[in-house]
Structure 1
Amino acid sequence: MFGLTFDKLLIVGVLAVFLLGPDRLPGYASKLAQLVRTLRGMADTAKDRMRDEMGPEFDDVEWQKLDPRQYDPRRIIRDALLDAPPGSSSTGMSAATAAAVSVGLPQHERPTIVPLAVGEVAPYDSEAT
């Protein structure tokens, strides 16, 4: 949790004893416990409210799939670029796009890059540049 190990917590506790002193330490410890109870109660209230508002679907949601730590931006972009709309061909892909898409792909899955013919102008979007 937050990169805190037992050693670090022990050091923080010893520092708290020296800085606060034995007279004020029990009061601050009880305030910390009250804060933790309040935060836990707020989290439980929020969960109950979500369950009430979402109804029975709340238990059916796969919360692990929605964890932002599991998203890989490279995979998302690669999937978006490789999923061409029906009827379009992948040969219209620019070399830079193909290179960006092919990062991390096995050789047999990489798109083929077709070089421009002599005198052919590279495609670009005049509104985007």
Structure 2
Amino acid sequence: MFGLTFEKLLIIGVIAVFLLGPERLPLYAAKLGQLVRSLRDMANGAKSRVKDEMGSEFDDVDWRKLDPRQYDPRRIIREALSDVDPFAQPQRPVVARAAVNQDSAYLQRKRQREALGAGEPAPFDSEAT
């Protein structure tokens, strides 16, 4: 409920007791109860009106499909552009390994480091700094 925990609600209640005082607190608690009841009645009225206007189709609607959290534009585009069944199990892609280039700069530096002795300093390039 809006990220409110029991502790936060308790703190809000204690603050309300101090701000409103014991004289006005029952009045505002009754008004809060009336507000909650009226909101619940409005929600139930809207639900019953939708159910009346939709008729028997209301029970056939899969409401989980209409959940906005299910919206993924990448999946929708992928399904629209592919001829593959979207409910089929995906195949694992086959990745071909490339041959290793023995003359790459990384491997050359690695060979130079391995060729250095224990007390020998690393090569220094004065133009690079």
**Under TM normalisation by the shorter chain, which class is it?**
0.5 to 0.7
Other-structure match for 1:108: 93
- The corresponding residue for 2:32 is 32
Give the distance between the partners of 2:58 and 2:30, measured in 1 at CA: 35
* TM-score, structure 2 as length reference: 0.61
- Cα deviations across residues 72-94 of structure 1 (Å, max 9, x unaligned)? 233223333446xxxxxxxxxxx
2:86 matched residue in structure 1: none
RMSD over aligned Cα, in angstroms?
2.2
- CA separation in 2, counterparts of 1:8 and 1:81? 49
Q: Which residues of structure 1 form unaligned runs of 5+? A: 84-104, 110-129
Q: 2:61 matched to 1:61?
A: yes
1:126 — aligned with what?
Answer: none
Once the 2 structures are TM-superposed, how far is the Cα of residue 57 of structure 1 from its aligned partner?
Answer: 0.6
Residue 69 of structure 1 and its aligned partner are, at CA, apart by 1.6
Counterpart mapping for 1:3-18 below 5 A: 3-18=3-18
Equivalenced residue count is: 89
Q: SS of the residue aligned with 1:65?
A: coil
The equivalent residue for 1:95 is: none
Identify the structure with the greater helix proportion.
1
Q: Give the C-alpha shift of residue 106 in structure 1.
A: 8.0
Structure 2 partner of 1:44 = 44
Structure 2: distance between partners of 1:59 and 1:27: 41
Structure with the greater alpha carbon radius of gyration: 2
Cα distance in 1 for partners of 2:21, 2:91 equals: 62
1:19 aligns with 2:28: no
Question: What is the CA–CA distance in structure 1 between the aligned matches of 2:74 and 2:20, rounded to whole Å?
Answer: 49
User: How far apart, CA to CA, are the structure 2 residues paired with 1:7 and 1:48?
Assistant: 35
The CA deviation at 1:35 is 0.5
Structure 1 residues 45 and 107, CA, compared in 2 at 3 Å: closer, same or farther? same
Which structure 2 segments of 5+ residues have no match? Answer: 84-89, 95-129
Deviation at 1:71, TM superposition (A): 1.5
Residue 58 of structure 2 is aligned to residue 73 of structure 1: no
User: Which runs of structure 1 show a deviation greater than 3 angstroms over 4 or more consecutive aligned residues?
Assistant: 80-83
1:65 shift after superposition = 1.4
Alignment-derived partner of residue 2 in structure 1:
2
